[in-house]
């Protein structure tokens, strides 16, 4: 890649993760009761416990993706999480006609987000990420340098 595409990948990854980070932050600092009520209304068992899992995934894994730390794994977790949310909360094919249109739009929004996550899974976090920084640092170890010099 070149500097422009590296920068675009960074911005794209941050924007993709921002959705989850702000949702987790909102749940943690004031929106937990609403989330528990929504989970309860959809028949989710133990919503008072599972809401903490949602916060960890959204805020914790979202921040990992944003920073590009274990980005492929983070994106895969967020893709699976987004699919589960789409199927559980936006199953438009089961919704009454009055709600189906809204749920259909949200379900397909979820699929689009999953598409973005799969791009990160396939191509990684990009140059401006903690994953890439750690990779570059590991290539500078004395052993790696001796190996490179030996093969000149």
Q: Cβ-count burial of 126 within 10 angstroms (0-12 exposed, 13-18 middle, 19+ buried)?
A: buried
- Cα separations (Å) of 120 from 17, 21, 66, 69, 152? 11, 17, 11, 12, 34
- Give per-residue pLDDT as tens, 116-134: 999 999 999 999 999 999 9
- Cα separations (Å) of 61 from 13, 106, 120? 13, 22, 14
- Which token pair is 33? 């009761």
- Give per-residue pLDDT as tens, 79-104: 999 999 999 999 999 988 888 999 99
Question: Which pLDDT belongs to residue 147?
Answer: 55
Domain of residue 18 covers: 3-150
| Positions in the chain whose pLDDT score sits under 70 | 141, 143-152
Please compute, for residue 139, the number of CA atoms within 13 A of its CA located in the half-sphere on the CB side: 7
| Angle ∠(27,31,32) on CA atoms, nearest 5 | 70
Domain count, the chain: 1
Asked if residues 50 and 44 have their Cβ atoms less than 8 Å apart, the reply is yes
Residue 24: φ, ψ to 5°: -65, -40
């Amino acid at each position: 890649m070149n500097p422009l595409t590296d920068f675009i990948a960074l911005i794209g990854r941050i924007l993709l993760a921002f959705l989850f980070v702000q949702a987790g932050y909102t749940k943690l600092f004031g929106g937990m009761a609403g989330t528990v009520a929504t989970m309860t209304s959809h028949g989710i068992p133990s919503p008072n416990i599972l809401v903490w899992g949602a916060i960890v995934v959204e805020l914790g894994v979202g921040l990992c993706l944003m920073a590009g730390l274990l980005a492929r794994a983070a994106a895969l977790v967020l893709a699976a999480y987004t699919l589960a949310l789409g199927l559980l909360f936006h199953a438009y094919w089961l919704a009454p006609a009055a709600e189906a249109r809204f749920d259909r739009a949200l379900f397909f929004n979820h699929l689009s987000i999953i598409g973005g996550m799969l791009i990160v899974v396939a191509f990684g976090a990009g140059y401006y990420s903690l994953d890439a920084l750690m990779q570059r640092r590991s290539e500078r170890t004395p052993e790696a340098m001796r190996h490179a010099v030996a093969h000149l």
